[in-house]
């Protein structure tokens, strides 16, 4: 029900099972031709990069301004000569050679892509020196990554929606009185909270229940939001009974980020005792950091943005005219894990076959990670 009706799944292939069977056939064909080790090693490299896509591209038509390329105008400095000697001192062949050299130099200086490219895998498909079978395998990985992306973008909602209706149907329609205790015992394990871990089943179902209760009682709108009397808000009940209508609307149009941003309210946080925590090196334990609603919500939304993955963009596919790939990490307060960055660069180099560089920030300073196929280097960026 959720996958069928949620708008974030509207662009997914409804015949993906057939498509995946086709993918398997193509992969098996390449294994027969090139060997299982060669193909599997390449697939492993591609799978490690499958998150380097633009998750929102299926829903947005990005208008890229077409920059008008300046027409090439040659500026040939002829050798000084008398007019009657010009065709001998500066023969047409010489002039043409100079034009070609200047044009080639101008082309080499052109930067590509013209704008930062979020879909790194698409950039590789278009520009990496891959064999035809490698291109096909990479396109398969990318296609399946986009297919599964909406599931990652709606995990809390999806699990919460399933739990909401599972509980409602079992307790109100299906179970006999003698079966309720066994069901409750089993269900409690599903929605139990584990220390230091977010349970999407619990958070999702609690939010859907809260939405239903609020819209049944009319706990929304300007009058309710502007009310500063907590006791009055707790007893607020206009008996509108709009809860089910609202949860179906939420199921259709929201993803996890908009779901949390809209319905993860201060009242909900207070009622469910949410807080942020951090590691205390002195006691070597995790301790409560804050119970402030804004900080809790901000940290929560940040962890969901881009499905918790770093934003990586292609800045230049011919960095300093050496054919090197220049990437940039959009730093938003969390540094790249150096070990993960190193392994990712290794796999990027396998596909690009030239050195790969990524610009990022460490200890509040811009730095470069570079891997050339043999050595991993870290360098500072000169301001």
In the predicted structure, residue 69 carries a pLDDT above the cut 50: no
Q: In percent, how much of the chain has pLDDT > 70?
A: 89
In the predicted structure, residue 174 carries a pLDDT above the cut 90: yes
Residue among 111, 212, 114, 125 at smallest CA distance from 161? 212
pLDDT of residue 66: 46
In the predicted structure, residue 68 carries a pLDDT above the cut 60: no
Sheet holding 312-319, edge to edge: 312-319, 324-329, 356-362, 365-371, 376-380
In the predicted structure, residue 217 carries a pLDDT above the cut 70: yes
285 has which bridge partners?
Answer: 280
Average pLDDT for residues 111-123, to the nearest whole number?
Answer: 90
Average pLDDT for residues 297-307, to the nearest whole number?
Answer: 90
Task: Report the range of poorest mean pLDDT among 17-26, 36-45, 172-181.
Answer: 172-181
pLDDT of residue 62: 61
Residue among 114, 45, 148 at smallest CA distance from 317? 114
What are the helix (H) ranges across the chain?
2-5, 16-34, 36-47, 86-89, 92-109, 120-127, 132-153, 155-169, 180-190, 200-217, 222-226, 230-235, 243-253, 256-263, 266-272, 293-304, 338-352
Residue among 166, 145, 175, 263 at smallest CA distance from 212? 263
Average pLDDT for residues 254-271, to the nearest whole number?
Answer: 95
* Higher per-residue confidence, 124 vs 71: 124
Residue 14: exposure state from Cβ atoms within 10 A (0-12, 13-18, ≥19):
exposed
* Separation CA 336–CA 333 (nearest Å): 10
Most confident of 175-184, 185-194, 251-260, 325-334: 251-260
Quick check: 146 and 51 in contact, CB under 8 A?
no
Strands 285-290 and 312-319 turn out to be: unpaired
User: How many Cβ atoms sit within 10 Å of the Cβ of residue 52?
Assistant: 24
Residue among 287, 306, 304 at smallest CA distance from 203? 304
pLDDT of residue 200: 94
Average pLDDT for residues 182-194, to the nearest whole number?
Answer: 90
In the predicted structure, residue 67 carries a pLDDT above the cut 60: no
At 70, is the pLDDT very low, low, confident or very high (cuts 50, 70, 90)?
very low
Residue among 78, 76, 74, 73 at smallest CA distance from 88? 78
pLDDT of residue 72: 40
Q: Chain-wide mean pLDDT for the chain? A: 89
Three-state DSSP class for residue 296: helix
Say how many residues make up the chain. 383
pLDDT of residue 75: 57
pLDDT of residue 308: 85
* Separation CA 324–CA 88 (nearest Å): 42
* Separation CA 32–CA 151 (nearest Å): 33
At 65, is the pLDDT very low, low, confident or very high (cuts 50, 70, 90)?
very low
Task: Please give the full DSSP string across 173-187, using - where no structure is assigned.
Answer: II--GGGHHHHHHHH
* Separation CA 37–CA 347 (nearest Å): 16
Phi and psi at residue 130, to the nearest 5°: -100, 150
Question: Is residue 338 left, alpha or beta, with left meaning phi > 0 and alpha meaning psi from -120 to 50?
Answer: alpha
pTM of the model: 0.82
129-165 per-position pLDDT tens digit: 999 999 999 999 999 999 999 999 999 999 999 999 9
Name every residue whose Cβ is closer than 8 Å to that of residue 174 and which is 6 or more positions away in sequence.
none
Quick check: 79 and 90 in contact, CB under 8 A?
yes
Average pLDDT for residues 238-265, to the nearest whole number?
Answer: 97
Note if the bond before 69 is cis, omega within 30 degrees.
no
In the predicted structure, residue 84 carries a pLDDT above the cut 90: no
């Amino acid at each position: 029900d959720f996958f069928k009706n949620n708008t974030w799944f509207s662009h997914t292939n409804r015949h993906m099972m057939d498509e995946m069977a086709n993918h398997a056939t193509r992969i098996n064909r390449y294994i027969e031709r090139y060997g299982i080790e060669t193909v599997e090693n390449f697939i492993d490299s591609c799978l490690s990069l499958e998150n380097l896509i633009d998750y929102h591209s299926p829903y947005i038509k990005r208008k890229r301004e077409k920059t008008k390329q300046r027409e090439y105008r040659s500026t040939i400095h002829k050798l000084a000569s008398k007019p009657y000697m010009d065709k001998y001192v500066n023969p047409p062949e010489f002039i043409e050679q100079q034009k070609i050299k200047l044009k080639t130099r101008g082309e080499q200086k052109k930067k590509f892509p013209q704008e930062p490219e979020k879909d790194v895998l698409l950039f590789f498909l278009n520009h990496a020196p891959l064999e035809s079978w490698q291109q096909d395998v990479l396109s398969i990985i990318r296609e399946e990554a986009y297919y599964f992306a909406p599931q990652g973008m709606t995990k809390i909602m999806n699990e919460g929606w399933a739990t909401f209706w599972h509980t409602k149907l079992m307790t109100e329609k299906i179970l006999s009185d003698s079966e309720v205790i066994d069901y409750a015992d089993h269900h409690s394990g599903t929605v139990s909270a584990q220390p230091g871990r977010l349970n999407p089943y619990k958070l999702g179902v609690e939010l859907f229940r809260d939405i239903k209760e609020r819209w049944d009682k009319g706990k929304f709108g300007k009058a309710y939001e502007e009310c500063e009397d907590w006791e009055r808000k707790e007893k607020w009940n206009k008996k509108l009974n709009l809860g089910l209508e609202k949860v179906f609307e939420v199921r259709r149009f929201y993803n996890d980020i908009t779901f949390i941003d809209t319905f993860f309210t201060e009242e909900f946080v207070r009622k469910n005792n949410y807080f942020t925590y951090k590691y205390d090196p002195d006691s070597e334990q995790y301790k409560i950091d804050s119970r402030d609603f804004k900080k809790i919500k901000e940290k929560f939304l940040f962890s969901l943005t881009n499905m918790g993955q770093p934003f990586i963009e292609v800045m230049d596919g011919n960095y300093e005219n050496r054919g090197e790939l220049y990437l940039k990490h959009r730093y938003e307060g969390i540094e790249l894990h150096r070990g993960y960055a190193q392994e990712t660069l290794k796999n990027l180099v396998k596909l690009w076959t030239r050195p790969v560089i990524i610009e990022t920030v460490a200890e509040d300073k811009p730095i470069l990670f570079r891997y050339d196929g043999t050595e991993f280097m870290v360098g500072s960026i000169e301001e």
